[in-house]
Homo-oligomer: A and B are copies of this chain.
């Protein structure tokens, strides 16, 4: 827990590129620290330009960390300050984040303009929808130009990441029926860019073809709407990374010119406010933790004596 009085000092230190202070501020976000409202208020006055947020997601083993590492190298060539938030799926049992993937990014460990951080996403109420925008606000005050949010995921995770990022990149690898699965998980609806990584493998051409077909047949788009772009990479050899950055730049330009970038930022803020408000309401009616009244009602529902709506109405009526 952080004292509210320390918050201003930490923000000041983080603005002066003190990595330890920055780490502390991000821990406050991660832990839903009681002083977090004070921090968010302090950041308002701290200024800074919103960084460009790139979401990077895909199933295990497709090469997310290697791709992230290759992208960092390219942005550093352009003298951009880069932060990576590796969001681990939350575990309600331990709440812990494992750091395996960070190891692969050690090449950038000595560069002070590269900041890499694993974050556990919070549980049910809020989750990535709250903590990532808050982390981005912290990084904004510290002068980062680009933030990459990397998460493993098939399903809800990309939906969350798409709601948070300016540009959402979905990584696939040849084989494993990724194409069909991409359609299933609604990836085509959340991905701005689709990357077929490991393009030295068999089946890469087929995967690219399948994705192009899906995009072509995947519903009508209004004129001026963005059409997902397919990029081929071999991230271990940095192959195709220039093309990927080019595609990101193109999407970024489109966000600006179409006004969609501004709309996304507003939707993201709405989601953040909504999640915080729901958490506030839940706390108010004792829905957090092991409220004895909730457990009592749950026992009745489990035994089939009360239905769940009647139980919920009883809690909300307070």
**A interface with B by C-beta (< 8 Å):** 36-37, 40-41, 43-44, 59-61, 88-94, 96, 98, 100-101, 124-125, 127, 129, 133-134, 151-157, 159, 163, 175-178, 180-181, 183-186, 189-190, 262, 265-270, 272-274, 276-278, 280-282, 284-285, 287, 294-295, 297-299, 301-302, 304-313, 315-316
Q: How many copies does the complex hold?
A: 2
Known A-B contacts A297-B273, A298-B273; the reply to A98 vs B281 at CB < 8 A is no
By the criterion CB–CB under 8 Å, are B43 and A278 in contact? no
Known A-B contacts A89-B186, A308-B133; the reply to A270 vs B294 at CB < 8 A is yes
- Chain B residues in 8 Å Cβ range of A185: 60, 88-89, 91, 152
By the criterion CB–CB under 8 Å, are A60 and B181 in contact? yes
Question: How far apart are the CA atoms of A204 and B127 in the complex, in Å?
Answer: 35
- Chain B residues in 8 Å Cβ range of A312: 273-274, 276-277, 280
- Chain B CB count within 10 A is highest, among A90, A155, A301, for A155
Return the 10 tightest CB-CB contacts between A and B, nearest first.
A89-B155, A91-B186, A270-B298, A60-B181, A276-B312, A61-B176, A269-B301, A37-B309, A269-B298, A277-B312
- Chain B residues in 8 Å Cβ range of A61: 175-178, 181
- Chain B residues in 8 Å Cβ range of A280: 312-313, 316
Q: Which residue of B lies closest to A295 (CB)?
A: B270
- Our pick among B93, B125, B273 for the contact of A315 (Cβ within 8 Å) is B273
